[in-house]
Amino acid sequence: MSALTKRARWISAVAAPLLLSGAALTATAPAANAAPTGADACTHPSWSNKSPGKGTAKGDTAKVRTGPSKDCGVTATVGTAVVLQYHCWVQNSAGNKWTHVRIDGSEINGWVYNGNLDDGGSVHPDNKC
């Protein structure tokens, strides 16, 4: 019996019980440069209060999030009547700019996508987090 035949029989002997039990023998390599999704995409960069600016949301459903990504949790939803005190801004891995804010008159703070802010958010280079 050749070495190749012995090896094929051994593989069959090991694989058959697994296949019969419903297990699959598959190997997948991680995708190169795969973008993280879900909780893995939610980063929490450091921030500081560098901006004297303030603004409001464009509409009634701007989300204040725990991090600068749509995959991050929501801490509050604000509308046009709520004043947001700007702290600083970042650009996330998707290339979108987000401003760290505090809801005026409260201790609630977080990140708002600049596209959801009436004036485009805090984007001055000196205000970068």
Enter the tokens of residue 112: 């708002």
Between the ranges 12-21, 23-32, 77-86, 117-126, where is the mean pLDDT highest?
77-86
Q: How far apart are CA 55 and CA 115, in angstroms?
A: 12
Enter the tokens of residue 11: 């593989």
Whole-number mean pLDDT of the chain?
A: 77
CB proximity list for 79: less than 8 A, separation 6 or greater: 57, 59, 60, 61, 62
Q: Which of 1-5, 14-18, 40-44, 110-114 has the lowest mean pLDDT?
A: 14-18
Is CATH 2.30.30.40 correct for 44-127?
yes
- Cβ neighbour number for residue 58 with a 10 Å cutoff: 15
Residue type, 69: S
Domain coordinates of the chain in residue numbers? 44-127
Residue-wise pLDDT for 77-121, tens only, equals: 999 999 999 999 999 999 999 999 999 999 999 999 999 999 999
